[in-house]
Amino acid sequence: MRQRLFEINEQDAFEEAKQRFIKTCGFDLQKNKHQKMMKMGEKVREDGIDGIEIRAMLSFCDKSILTDEGLKVAGETLAFPYLERIPRDAVCGVYFYGLTVGECYFSSEENIMDFLYADIWGTNYVDASMSILQKKIEEDMRETFAGAGEVYLSCEFGPGYFGMPVSDSQKIMKIIDGEQIGIRVKESGLLIPQKSCMGFFFVYNRPGITAEAECIRCGGNSKGCEFCRIRQEIEERLK
């Protein structure tokens, strides 16, 4: 297993975090009211910027960790339903990651908008920092597999997704040695600082391997075919 620690400059993530902040808040900056609200949000960021400290830990493992029992690494085994659908011969390696941006502090606990804006900034810094980290992973991937033909990075996998228990955060914490970047995991699987994330990517030797969430087939999902069928039946009965 090969590990690397990254420190990401806040300014490198700021522009994308800002655009995400505007989108999350639904601001139309052509409107005076939204301009004023944006200034309030920017003030919250300025007041809490000292709490933003972006660090990431990356651990690369070769394909030998993928077994019939699951992903076996550092004395831990990660197994989840979707893993059975991944073609074994397509996997070249696995990148485990942990990332934290610290916390965007807010000046007044009595002002609910300060709390809300600080929380939104923190979330958007995580997303922006993940974009940067993914580019670094892709760069490392190209170097690692140089001369081995084309390789492709999967979507993100992690606790809470594709049937993986949230409690598996404890296992990934051990794999990446998350304490090096200041991450802790509670028994429930909750990450501290809260503006943190962890998971992993597969490296594939061919394109077109996609992950479909199991919930897409759920009858309660408006994007699922079953939902449309049930809705159509109800509409027919109401005519």
Residue boundaries of the structural domains of the chain: 2-208, 213-239
pLDDT tens-digit map of 37-72: 999 999 999 988 888 999 999 999 999 999 999 999
What are 148-206's pLDDT values in tens digits?
Answer: 889 999 999 999 888 899 999 999 999 999 999 999 999 888 999 999 999 999 999 99
> What DSSP designation does 216 have?
G
Tell which wins on pLDDT, 105 or 62: 62
Q: What is the pLDDT of residues 2-32, one digit of tens each?
A: 999 999 999 999 999 999 999 999 999 999 9
Name the one residue in this structure whose structure tokens are 């190209």: 142
Outline where the chain has alpha helix (H).
Answer: 10-25, 32-48, 112-144, 169-176, 225-238
**What is the spatial distance between Cα 122 and Cα 21, in angstroms, rounded to a whole number?**
9
Phi, psi angle pair for 26, to nearest 5°: 70, 30
Q: What are the pLDDT digits (tens) for 187-200?
A: 888 999 999 999 99
HSE-up of 47 (CA within 13 Å, CB side)? 14
pTM, two decimal places: 0.85
Name the fold adopted by 2-208.
NADH Oxidase (3.40.109)
